[in-house]
Amino acid sequence: LKVLAIILFVIVGLTAINFSNYIPFIPEHKVTETGDFGGWQGIYAGVSMIFLAYIGFDSIAANSAEAINPQKTMPRGILGSLIVAIVLFVAVALVLVGMFHYSQYADNAEPVGWALRESGHGIIAAIVQAISVIGMFTALIGMMLAGSRLLYSFGRDGLLPSWLSQLNHKHLPNRALVILTIIGVVIGSMFPFAFLAQLISAGTLVAFMFVSLAM
């Protein structure tokens, strides 16, 4: 459903693209109050936060114990989801920038909905945003599933207290899930989203770095 919403936005947005908005494709670099903007320095600054968007495929590996024939299905799932995510993210970014000048998206909390409404597609905007809200809950369930399995594995292997590895009568790691929920609620209520996004992106990058070194 979420993928269909993204495809719907891309198709509708293509009808409102103004190719002059792509010029210059890489704006000149300048230093603003919030940091580097434009140039390769600005691109690197943006890339430092984009890792947050790609940790979803990593949750597939965390659920490998639940899969049938994981030797075949896991590589396909990881690579397939990564390719799909890259294509969709790039398509959405190109369409957004093509519809309106990038400066008009500054401090905009809902760029997709705003761009659709401003281009005369209010109904499509409402549909896409409604699906996005529903998609937040499905994404949350998926990440909670992966996170609880990781805590369960750490407890089973002795890296964390062993009581985290205990399962309930339905063979679910309920203790790990409860701990993960409490931690998420506490941290999410104390820190702003921008800070958490940077923190998660940095942690993900460090984790991927150590995995690459181990291989």
Q: Is the pLDDT of residue 11 over 90?
A: yes
Q: Is the pLDDT of residue 167 over 70?
A: yes
What pLDDT sits at residue 10? Answer: 93
Give dist(CA 187, CA 99) in Å, integer: 36
Per the DSSP assignment, residues forming a β-bridge with 32 are 35
What pLDDT sits at residue 7? Answer: 92
State the CATH number of the domain containing residue 174: 1.20.1740.10
In terms of Cβ atoms closer than 10 Å to its own Cβ (0-12, 13-18, 19+), residue 118 is: middle
Residue with tokens 């940077």: 198
Amino acid at 71: Q
* 64 to 6, 32, 81, 184: CA distances (angstroms): 27, 44, 15, 23
Q: 85-126: per-residue pLDDT in tens?
A: 889 989 999 999 999 988 888 778 788 999 999 999 999 999
Give dist(CA 105, CA 122) in Å, integer: 17
- For 99, the domain range is 1-214
Q: 188-208: per-residue pLDDT in tens?
A: 888 887 788 778 777 777 877
Count Cβ atoms below 10 Å from residue 173 Cβ, excluding itself. 23
Name the domain count of the chain. 1
Q: How confident is the model at residue 36 (pLDDT cuts 50, 70, 90)?
A: low
Instruction: Evaluate if pTM is beyond 0.85.
Output: no
What pLDDT sits at residue 8? Answer: 92
Q: What is the CA radius of gyration of the chain?
A: 20
What pLDDT sits at residue 58? Answer: 72
Q: Is the pLDDT of residue 49 over 90?
A: no
Per the DSSP assignment, residues forming a β-bridge with 17 are none
What pLDDT sits at residue 25? Answer: 84
* 49 to 58, 186, 198: CA distances (angstroms): 16, 22, 6
Give dist(CA 209, CA 113) in Å, integer: 36
Q: Is the pLDDT of residue 34 over 70?
A: no
Give dist(CA 59, CA 204) in Å, integer: 12
Q: 126-153: per-residue pLDDT in tens?
A: 999 898 888 888 878 878 888 888 888 8
What pLDDT sits at residue 152? Answer: 86
Residue 123 in tokens: 């109904």
